[in-house]
Amino acid sequence: MFSDKVVENLKASSAIRAMFEEGARLKKEFGAENVFDFSIGNPDPPPPEPALEAVRRLVGGSPRGLHGYMNNAGYLDVREKIASEFNAASPGLGLDAGHVVMTCGAGGGLNVIFKALLNPGDEVIAFSPFFVEYRFYVENHGGRLVTSPTHEESFLPDLGALEGAITGRTKAVILNTPNNPTGVVYPRVFLEELAALLEVKGREFSSTIFLVSDEPYRDIVYDGVEAAPVFSLFRNSLLAYSWSKSLSLPGERIGYVALNPRIEEAGLLWDALVFANRSLGFVNAPALFQRVVLESWGCRVDVEIYKERRDLLYSHLVGLGFSCVKPQGAFYLFPKSPLADTEAFKRLALTHKIILVPGRGFGCPAYFRLAYCVSIETIRNSQPAFEALARDAGL
Amino acid sequence: MFSDKVVENLKASSAIRAMFEEGARLKKEFGAENVFDFSIGNPDPPPPEPALEAVRRLVGGSPRGLHGYMNNAGYLDVREKIASEFNAASPGLGLDAGHVVMTCGAGGGLNVIFKALLNPGDEVIAFSPFFVEYRFYVENHGGRLVTSPTHEESFLPDLGALEGAITGRTKAVILNTPNNPTGVVYPRVFLEELAALLEVKGREFSSTIFLVSDEPYRDIVYDGVEAAPVFSLFRNSLLAYSWSKSLSLPGERIGYVALNPRIEEAGLLWDALVFANRSLGFVNAPALFQRVVLESWGCRVDVEIYKERRDLLYSHLVGLGFSCVKPQGAFYLFPKSPLADTEAFKRLALTHKIILVPGRGFGCPAYFRLAYCVSIETIRNSQPAFEALARDAGL
């Protein structure tokens, strides 16, 4: 009676949601302070004060037109500001407001990109582990998600495997660095190799293979690491950004898509992106928050907050014997499950009131994800529970 | 290289946008006060003061969590408030928060509905003239839009024609009252006949035919007319609402979808709607404005503002000899083109700096649309231009 595909996905897709709800149930039963919920990427730090001040200032005078329609691509001055940032990072790039579309977060942006790019049966490659929603974003627009593995010791994509996964139907490769769920930041030299491979394979198949860079965590990086600018490395590249994490306002749905000016027919692609934004029913990115990001330009959440949490949780887990790649960005840990059966490990963790997400949904069933964007107290208080869990799991 | 479908639609779909841009060009050349732009439904009246006050109050204290994620369906208290309004309008309906999903406006809501309902090849019927975007909303999710005519003298759907248009593949019929572009409000007795017909045809084909009611203009009604509540009339019904027009904040993308509790497996359909909302990349309706509509509950733009504009423009046009159904809702006029070639009439109007949208995109090429949500001065100042246009067009 309803969409068969959606009903089928409903059953398969709810790992994070299921754990989130299990967490809510446990909190109700045992009190929130006794449950250690690492299930979801909802930032605990409040938005930085300059962003909150921008909201208050903007609505203070209730200026005319503040909440009205604008061009479906978003306000021109906001797009110009974004363009100027890209040009500063990559001199000579020549990116302007006509290469930017304001979107409802990066999730909205990726849907807009795939709607604009994909023809029925086109393949899009993601590296495992990958953000659970990619599969739906691609399938929404008639595409097929193909997965390609990463190296176990680094979570960097296996380029040999990628070479074998690319076919004449490959329309795009999704890049997500800093990565959800591993927290890995891909080094520049790796991206250069990836770019070279895409060039070679594109020539081999006489096709254009787009690099779609999902960058909601671009500004959440530690240890002096930087996420390399993709536009200077990949000619056929598009980028989805969100302020959800960098300004701690994920509920407001504000982000953008930018496209590389070097793409052939970049103007037509921009038209297609704007049309997709409109016809998917987004119409435009929320008006007020477009102005908020402009008015608080350059303001970012203090990443030291997340670094402290990473250090505390990571060192504690490794000290207990968990095997885990040390993340250099985002706010997730992706340790290996000490039990072969990760679902059993998840249930064992629940008995210690630790809520984690098994890796199956991310395409790596031997691992589990912990979102450490929770309070430092939650991490501190979770230590005895993790100790008991490690013991029970035979570490 | 890009989506063939999107590129093809780009060419066909830009009638409103093209006129909007033509208007911008003329305003730049001749000054905004000398151009009479009736192209787009961007409300001229500012949001009502209680809504603006709610925005200021909510952000004043920057309370923790105001801009964070919530349940993908939206805040529980907001959904409960909406449910209570439906139950008050239709006692015994039994609608609760589990029948409501907060969405990015009605456009987002309709995409969520079609994503949740449609299987490949399913047909959705719209009555001509219809809102241009319906075709894309349906095709986005694998459906096919089928059009069925209205009676020329009333713009009420021709039920005989509808009977012939319904097939075993008909999954839904779109209702839009008050109507864009005609402004017609369907009488209750008509809706009862439509409901009876859908029941009969559903039995004939052993299928469920959903009524999808697109109601962004529900609160913009004149002359004591009321839009009848569809949930008491149509068992298998879903409704998309938006505050874009009733609170004059179309740029903020805030609306909801509600489903009739009498639908079989309503719980599963709600799950499907929430999943669609999430996986299409909306994730959730913008957080702050969910709270704004709750905090300013019941507040509406003063419809007398629009009534004055309707009366002035309608009576002037009819006085000049234009043929036009008098609208009882929304803020559009849909007069008949005095020239057989509406595109030629559009160009003639442009020579008088009147921006209108030809009816072709709405499925009725013999008509044109005027959006009168512009200032009363624009309407007053446009009168000599309309007089000259009528003369030139031979009225």
Note the pLDDT tens digit of each residue in A132-154: 999 999 999 999 999 999 999 99
- B107-B220-B198 Cα angle (round to 5): 60
Flag whether A56 is in a domain: no
**What is the band of B61 on the pLDDT scale with cuts at 50, 70, 90?**
confident
Do B250 and A64 make contact, defined as CB atoms within 8 angstroms? no
A280 and A383 assigned to the same domain: no
Q: What mean pLDDT do residues A80-100 have?
A: 96
CA distances from A335 to A320, A330, A331, B91, B182 (A): 12, 15, 13, 53, 60
| Mutation choice for A interface testing from B13, B279, B290 by most A CBs within 10 A | B279
Which helix (H) or strand (E) is A272 found in, with range?
Answer: helix A266-279
Instruction: Please report residues of A whose CB lies closer than 8 A to that of B271.
Output: 10
**Can you list the pairs that B73-76 forms with residues at least 24 positions away whose Cβ atoms lie under 8 Å?**
B73/B97, B73/B100, B73/B101, B73/B102, B73/B270, B73/B273, B73/B274, B73/B277, B73/B284, B74/B100, B74/B101, B74/B102, B74/B256, B74/B284, B74/B285, B74/B290, B75/B102, B75/B287, B75/B290, B75/B291, B75/B294
pLDDT at B14 over 70: no
Q: Which of B1, B136, B279 sits opposite A265 (nearest CB)?
A: B1
- Is B341 inside any structural domain? yes
Contacts of residues A200-205 at CB distance under 8 Å and 24 or more positions apart, as own/partner, are A201/A163, A201/A166, A201/A170, A202/A236, A205/A166, A205/A167, A205/A168, A205/A170
Is pLDDT above 70 for A14? no
The distance of B327 to chain A (nearest Cα, Å) reads 24
Quick one: closest CA in A to B275, which residue?
A10
Distance of CA A55 to the CA centre of its chain: 25
Q: Does one domain contain both B216 and B255?
A: yes
- For A306-334, the pLDDT digits (tens) are 999 999 999 999 999 999 999 999 999 99
- The one-letter code for the residue type at B225 is V
- Asked if the Cβ–Cβ distance from B104 to A283 is below 8 Å, we say yes
Give the H/E segment covering residue B238.
strand B237-242
Contact criterion met (CB below 8 Å) for A208 and A181: no
Say if residue B27's pLDDT is above 70: yes
CB–CB of A376/A308 below 8 Å?
A: yes
Say whether B191 sits in a helix, a strand or coil. Answer: helix
Residue B225, pLDDT score: 94
* B259–chain A nearest CA distance, Å: 13
Q: Is residue B164 part of a domain?
A: yes
A238 and A152 share one domain = yes
* Phi (first) and psi of residue B15, to 5 degrees: -60, -50
- Which two structure tokens, joined as six digits, stand for A18? 């299921």
Q: Are residues A210 and A258 in the same domain?
A: yes
From CA A230, how far away is CA A241, in angstroms rounded?
Answer: 12
Distance CA A2, CA B122 (A): 11
**Strands B144-148, B123-127: parallel, antiparallel or unpaired by DSSP?**
parallel
Q: Is the pLDDT of residue B176 over 90?
A: yes
Q: What pLDDT digit, counting tens, does each position of B230-278 carry?
A: 999 999 999 999 999 999 999 999 999 999 999 999 999 999 999 999 9
Rg (CA), chain B: 21
pLDDT of res. B241 = 98
The predicted pLDDT at position A54 comes to 96
Residue B168: count other Cβ atoms within 10 Å of its Cβ: 10
DSSP B298-333: T----HHHHHHHHHHHHHHHHHTT---PPPSBTTEE
CA B321/CA A14 separation, integer angstroms: 60
Q: Is residue B56 in a domain?
A: no
* The model scores a pTM over 0.90: yes
Q: Name the burial class of residue B142, with classes exposed (0-12), middle (13-18) and buried (19+) by CB atoms within 10 angstroms of its CB.
A: middle
Q: Residue A230 pLDDT > 70, yes or no?
A: yes
Q: Give the closest of B43, B141, B272 to A10, CB-based.
A: B272
Q: Where does a domain end: A295, A323, A346?
A: A295
C-beta atoms of B56 and A70 within 8 A: no
Distance from CA of A377 to the nearest CA of B (A): 17
| Tens of pLDDT, residues B309-348 | 999 999 999 999 999 999 999 999 999 999 999 999 999 9
φ, ψ (nearest 5 deg) of residue A314: -60, -50
Q: Which residue in A60, A279, A286 is closest to B140 by CB distance?
A: A279
State the burial class of residue B94 (Cβ atoms within 10 Å of its Cβ: 0-12, 13-18, 19+): middle
For residue A17, the model assigns a pLDDT of 72
Cross-strand bridge partners of residue A255? A103, A242
pLDDT at A218 over 70: yes
> Of A244, A272, A295, which one is at a domain's C-terminal end?
A295
The closest CB to that of A1, out of B2, B208, B253, belongs to B208
CA distance B393 to chain A (A): 32
Q: Does the residue A367 lie in any domain?
A: yes
Cα B46 from Cα B26, distance rounded (Å): 25
**Structural domains of chain B, count:** 2
The answer to whether residues B253 and B324 belong to one domain is no
Strands (E), B131-203: 144-148, 170-175
* Chain mean position to CA B52: 23
pLDDT (tens digit, 9 = 90+) per residue, A161-208?
Answer: 999 999 999 999 999 999 999 999 999 999 999 999 999 999 999 999
Contact A281 B67 (CB under 8 A): no
Contacts of B9 in chain A (CB under 8 A): 275, 279
Which pLDDT band, with edges at 50, 70 and 90, does A118 fall under? very high
Q: How many CB pairs under 8 A join A and B?
A: 214
Domain ranges, residue B40: 4-48+301-392
Instruction: Check pLDDT > 90 for residue B135.
Output: yes
pLDDT at A162: 98
User: For the residues A220-241, what does the mean pLDDT come to?
Assistant: 95
A111 plus A27 within the same structural domain:
no
Domain check: are A77 and A150 in the same one?
yes
Residue B36's DSSP bridge partners are: B354
**pLDDT of A129 strictly over 70:** yes
Q: Chain B residue with minimal CA distance to A273?
A: B6
Beta-bridge partners for A257: A101, A240
Q: Write the residue in B5, B72, B105 that is nearest to A283 by C-beta.
A: B105
Q: Which amino acid, B304?
A: E
Cβ neighbours of A281 in B, within 8 Å: 104-105, 107-112, 133, 137, 280, 282
CB contact under 8 A, B108 and A282: yes
Whole-number Å distance between alpha carbons of B354 and B350: 5
**Contacts of residue B78 in chain A, CB cutoff 8 Å?**
none
Residue B275 covered by a domain? yes
Instruction: Share the mean pLDDT of chain B.
Output: 95
Q: Are A281 and B104 within 8 A, CB to CB?
A: yes
Contact B164, B147 (CB under 8 A): no
User: Are B275 and A137 in contact (CB < 8 Å)?
Assistant: no
- Nearest residue on chain A to B8, alpha-carbon basis: A272
Examine the domain organization and report whether A119 and A266 are in the same domain: yes
Q: Note the pLDDT tens digit of each residue in B69-117.
A: 999 999 999 999 999 999 999 999 999 999 999 999 999 999 999 999 9
Residues A273 and A320 in one domain: no
Give B250's contacts in chain A (Cβ within 8 Å).
Answer: 67-69, 283
The answer to whether position B53 is within a domain reads no
B341 and B265, same structural domain? no
- Going by C-alpha positions, the residue among B289, B391, B333, B339 that lies closest to residue B41 is B333
| Cβ neighbours of residue A17 closer than 8 Å, sequence gap 6 or more | B72
Q: Is the pLDDT of residue B137 over 80?
A: yes
Per-residue pLDDT at A51:
96
Strand ranges for A165-302 from DSSP E: 170-175, 210-214, 237-242, 255-259
Give Cβ neighbours of residue A377 (< 8 Å, ≥ 6 apart): none
Verify whether the Cβ–Cβ distance B69 to A105 is below 8 Å: no
Tokens 């003061």 correspond to: B49
**Chain B residues closer than 8 Å to A3 by CB:** 115-119, 141, 272
The CATH number linked to A209 is: 3.40.640.10
B256 beta partners: B102, B241
Cβ partners under 8 Å of residue B98, min gap 6? B267, B270
Identify from B1, B5, B101 which residue to disrupt to test chain A contact, counting A C-beta atoms within 10 A and taking the largest count. B1
Hey, are the CB atoms on B4 and A287 less than 8 Å from each other? no
- Cβ–Cβ gap A251/B288 under 8 Å: yes
In this complex, do A116 and B6 lie within 8 Å of one another by their Cβ atoms?
yes
Q: Map tokens 């000259």 to a residue.
A: B388
Q: Do B104 and A6 touch (CB under 8 A)?
A: no
Closest in B47, B253, B281 to A110, CB measured:
B281
Q: Report the CATH number at residue A336.
A: 3.90.1150.10
Select from A42, A55, A59 the Cβ nearest to the Cβ of B68: A42
Q: SS3 of B170, please?
A: strand
The answer as to whether A58 is a domain residue is no
CA B223 to chain centre: 20
Distance from CA of B391 to the nearest CA of A (A): 34
Q: Which of B295, B319, B334 is the last residue of a domain?
A: B295
pLDDT in tens, A257-306: 999 999 999 999 999 999 999 999 999 999 999 999 999 999 999 999 99
Asked if residue A301 lies in contact with residue B162, where contact means CB atoms within 8 angstroms, the answer is: no
Residue A272 and residue A333 in one domain: no
Cβ partners under 8 Å of residue A243, min gap 6: A249, A252, A254, A255, A289, A293
- Interface contact B2-A116, CB threshold 8 A: yes
Q: How far is A44 from chain B (nearest CA, A)?
A: 9
Write down the pLDDT at residue A388.
Answer: 98
A207-212 average pLDDT score: 98
Residues B169 and B281 in one domain: yes
B372 pLDDT more than 80: yes
Beta partners for B336? B367
Identify whether the C-beta of residue B326 lies closer than 8 Å to the C-beta of residue B307.
Answer: no
